[in-house]
Structure 1
Amino acid sequence: MSNNEKLLKKARMLSYHEKMFQCPICGGAMKVERMASLECENRHCYDISRQGYVNLLNHSSKTKYDKALFEARKMISSSGFFGPLIEGISNRLIQMQKQKLPESGKPLRLLDAGCGEGSHLSAIGHNLQEKGHKPNVIGVGMDIAKEGIAMAAKTYSDPMWCVADLSQCPFADEQFNYILNILSPSNYSEFRRLLTSDGMLVKVIPGGLYLQELRALFYTGTGKETYSNDGTMKLFSRHFERSGFEELRYHVILDSEQVKQLIHMTPLSWSASPEVIERMSDGEMEVTADFTLLYGWK
Structure 2
Amino acid sequence: MNLKLRTAFDLAAVARDAGKRGRIEMKPIGARLSFEVALYRIILRVLAVYEKAKPALIEGARADRSTLTMDAFGISDIVSALRGSFSQAIALADNPLRDLFRGEGARHDSRWIEQVNSVIGVDLNAVVTSEQVQPAIDLATRRNVALIKGLTDEVAARIEVAITDLVSRGASTKEIAARLTEIGGFGRRRAQLIAVTEANKFNGELNRIRQTQAGISRYTWSTVRDNRVRPKHRAREGQTYRWDTPPQGGPPGSEPRCRCVARAVLDFDEPAIRRSERRRASTQGRRAVEAALTGFTP
Q: What is the TM-score with the length of structure 2 in the denominator?
A: 0.19
Based on CA coordinates, which of the two structures has the bigger radius of gyration? 2
